[in-house]
Amino acid sequence: MKGHAEKVISRLCLVALCPVTLCLVTLCLVILLGSVPASAWAQAPDSKPDSKPAAQAEKPKSTAAPHSGASDPALLHPATLKAQAPAEYDVKFVTTKGEFVVHVTRAWAPQGADRFYNLVKHHFYDNAAFFRVVPNFVVQFGISANPSVNSAWQHASMKDDPVVQSNKRGTIVFAQTSNPNSRGTQVFINLVDNARLDRMGFAPFGVVEGDGMKVVEMFYDQYGDTSGPDQGKIETQGKPYIDKGWPKLDTIKSATLLTSAPAAASKPASPAKKPQ
């Protein structure tokens, strides 16, 4: 009986101790869990794969803001840039391949010469890319590196000029669509004689001087006319879009006026300087 009683007492003690044991186990778990950093528990909801890409997608917007501050504020108001250009003037281009000078003769295309004068005066072309370089045809540029500026000029078209000079090698011309009065800010330089463009209404307003075409002909042209950047995306995304997808394209570091007054005496024979 004594041995049986001891077994019964032992079992009762175990039953009595069970709640205590459970409490101790629970307490240990609480202590252990309390030592785990809260960040480990929040990791799943707070480190979603799409959280960082979303922040990265916003970076182009932030880069456009400081660039906008660097642009001439006048470029955001095309209607105010109506100054008449001198009878003749020069524009110096500093590019990633070197320098060249364009001599503009207003009588060749008054509307185009005036528009180019105002754009250069307010540094529209600074940091712009030569986004379309087609061997044996043209080098095209004239989309601002600043999306805000492009937006402002989207509908700032000008009237057509009659074609009085041929599209010879070295001449600079405003690009246009098949619609009348569709010229805006884009221009191109003829790499060869493109007389067929005369009949299409493309009116040259200036010419690359001296050995400047040696620089123009060095611009990167391996993207051709089919693998280059999308013009619409250049307009809306600006320089970051070019830098990311087409890093080899050459760009304009600066385009500045060298003369701001008529120079009839200093440049009497400019028509004779047309490329041969």
pLDDT at res. 178: 92
The band of 273, judged by pLDDT with boundaries at 50, 70 and 90, is very low
Asked whether the beta carbons of 88 and 124 are under 8 A apart, the reply is no
Asked whether the beta carbons of 138 and 186 are under 8 A apart, the reply is no
* Dihedral in degrees, nearest 10, Cα atoms 185, 188, 189, 192: -160
Residue 166 has what DSSP assignment?
-
Domain boundaries, the chain: 87-263
Lowest mean pLDDT among 31-45, 75-89, 92-106, 199-213: 31-45
Give the pTM: 0.70
- Region label for 98, one of left (φ > 0), alpha (ψ between -120 and 50) or beta (otherwise): left
pLDDT at residue 70 is higher than 80 = no
What is the token pair recorded at 152? 């402002």
Task: Report pLDDT digits (tens) over 111-164.
Answer: 999 999 999 999 999 999 999 999 999 999 999 999 999 999 999 999 999 999
pLDDT at residue 274 is higher than 90 = no
Question: What share of the chain in percent tops pLDDT 70?
Answer: 68
pLDDT at residue 206 is higher than 90 = yes
What residues does 138 pair with on adjacent strands?
134, 190
C-alpha dihedral sign at 204, 209, 213, 215: negative
**How many CB atoms within 10 Å of residue 85?**
23
In terms of Cα–Cα distance, which of 104, 27, 138 is closest to 259? 104
Q: Which fold has domain 87-263?
A: Cyclophilin (2.40.100)
pLDDT at res. 224: 87
pLDDT at res. 259: 65
What residues does 204 pair with on adjacent strands?
173
pLDDT at residue 194 is higher than 90 = yes
SS3 171: strand
pLDDT at res. 15: 38
